[in-house]
């Protein structure tokens, strides 16, 4: 086991747990915010399990997923906008619970939780299909175009799944106001895709042909 990689992964993991906890429970003014506990369980328990599996089976993929140092200027803006979206959305969710601004039915919370779990499973399958997936826009050594599985349907299936994942988050937290804030994410990801495809066309052999073969970016028959 790569001890340095393990320490980096576990440090980022616990930092994420603490940060999300602060952003949710501090505005809520209590630890009795059960929607927040539900969300954190759904988010961080599978994340921990997936991290262990990657550490054992594919440490290079784990390493690339931990790297968030973007080289592309436009992608740095995408990270900034996404970070602000999460920051504001989580704080508003906590405040919504604290002051009972708008309450949504439990059936929406339950349905969103199920969709979140299904999306997480699909996310893991996409990671299995494409071991070149990095959190930064780059072309890796010996990288090849993946055109099977989900990649035979849309060119960016991971982003398709993250849209579902992120839009279910505020509903699990019980905040329709935060949901409205998170609706900005599809526009953020469209900006990321535009720049990413420019890089892939320029640097990844066969990507132009792949674009001609698979017409849709995120949603089959739509876009």
pLDDT tens for the chain, 223 residues: list them. 578 888 888 999 999 999 999 999 999 999 999 999 999 999 999 999 888 887 888 787 777 667 666 666 667 788 889 999 999 999 999 999 999 999 999 999 999 999 999 999 998 888 777 766 655 555 556 677 888 888 889 998 999 999 999 999 999 999 999 999 999 999 999 888 888 888 888 888 888 888 889 998 988 888 8
Give dist(CA 154, CA 216) in Å, integer.
5
pLDDT at 208: 85
Structure tokens at 76: 């740095």
Helix locations, the chain, DSSP H: 3-28, 34-57, 59-66, 73-99, 106-129, 157-172, 176-182, 185-203, 207-213
Give dist(CA 158, CA 87) in Å, integer.
22
| CA distances to 68, 71, 156, 223 from 5, in Å | 14, 21, 27, 38
CA proximity to 122, closest of 145, 82, 153, 77: 153
pLDDT at 17: 96
- CATH code, residues 3-134+142-213: 1.20.120.1630
pLDDT at 131: 66
pLDDT at 28: 98
Tell me how far apart the 2 most distant CA atoms of the chain are, in Å.
54
Write the burial class of residue 97 (CB in 10 Å: 0-12 exposed, 13-18 middle, 19+ buried).
Answer: buried
Quote the pTM value: 0.89
CA proximity to 183, closest of 204, 202, 197, 169: 169
Structure tokens at 60: 């290079």
Structure tokens at 49: 């399990």
pLDDT at 72: 61
Give dist(CA 14, CA 8) in Å, integer.
10
- What secondary structure letter does DSSP report for 44? H
Write the burial class of residue 215 (CB in 10 Å: 0-12 exposed, 13-18 middle, 19+ buried).
Answer: exposed
């Amino acid at each position: 086991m790569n001890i340095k990689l393990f320490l980096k992964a576990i440090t980022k993991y616990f930092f994420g747990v603490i940060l999300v906890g602060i952003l949710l429970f501090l505005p809520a003014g209590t630890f009795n915010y059960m929607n927040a506990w539900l969300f954190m369980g759904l988010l961080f328990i599978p994340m921990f399990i997936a991290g262990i599996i990657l550490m054992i089976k594919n440490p290079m993929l784990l390493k690339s997923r931990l790297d968030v140092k973007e080289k592309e200027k436009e992608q740095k803006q995408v990270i900034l906008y996404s970070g602000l979206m999460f920051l504001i959305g989580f704080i508003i969710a906590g405040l919504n619970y604290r002051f009972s601004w708008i309450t949504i039915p439990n059936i929406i919370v339950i349905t969103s939780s199920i969709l979140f779990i299904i999306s997480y499973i699909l996310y893991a399958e996409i990671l299995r299909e494409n071991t070149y997936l990095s959190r930064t826009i780059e072309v890796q050594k010996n990288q090849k175009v993946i055109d099977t599985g989900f990649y035979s349907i849309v060119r960016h299936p991971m982003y398709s799944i993250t849209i579902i994942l992120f839009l279910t988050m505020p509903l699990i937290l019980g905040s329709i106001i935060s949901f409205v804030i998170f609706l900005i994410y599809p526009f953020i990801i469209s900006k990321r895709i535009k720049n990413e495809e420019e890089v892939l066309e320029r640097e990844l052999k066969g990507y132009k042909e792949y674009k001609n073969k698979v017409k849709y970016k995120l949603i089959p028959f739509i876009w």
